[in-house]
Amino acid sequence: MKYVCNVCDYVYDPIEGDPDNGIAPGTPFADLPDDWVCPLCGVGKEDFSPVD
């Protein structure tokens, strides 16, 4: 499932991951490390909401 940043609208897509920050393609949002932050605005996982 995709997750969107509540602050800046960045969308985390598990298919793509976040390779610039060491997150491999195929990583589900739930498996992101606790210290992972939005690559655009820098807020933490708690500021993301699931996209349905």
Partner 1 sequence: MSFKAVRVSDSVYWVGAVDWSIRDFHGYSTHHGTTYNAFLILADKVTLIDTVKKPFYPELMARIASVIDPARIDYLISNHSELDHTGCLPEVVAAVKPERIFASPKGIQALDQHFHAGFPIEPLRTGDTLDLGNRHLQCLETSMLHWPDSMFTYLPEERVLFSQDAFGMHLASSERFADEVNQDVLEYEAAKYYANILMPYSPLILKLIDTVGKLGIEIGIIAQDHGPLFRKSPDFIISRYAQWARRDMKRKAVVVYDTMWQSTAAMANALSDGMSASSVSVRQMHLAGSHRSDIATELLDAAALIVGSPTLNNNMFPSVADVLVYLKGLKPKNLISAAFGSYGWGGEAVRQIRDLLTEMGTAYSGDVRIKYVPDSAALDECYSFGVSLADQVKGAVS
Interface residues with partner 1 (CB under 8 A) are 7-10, 40-41
Per CB under 5 A, 29 contacts Zn ion:
no
E strands present in the chain: 3-5, 11-12, 48-50
User: Which of 23/38 has CB closer to Zn ion?
Assistant: 38
- Look up residue 22 and give its two tokens: 């060491």
d(CA 30, CA 2): 11
Tokens standing for residue 44: 């933490």
9 binds, among Zn ion, partner 1, none (CB under 5 to 8 A by kind): partner 1
Residues at the site binding Zn ion, with contacts judged by CB under 5 A = 5, 7-8, 10, 38, 40-41
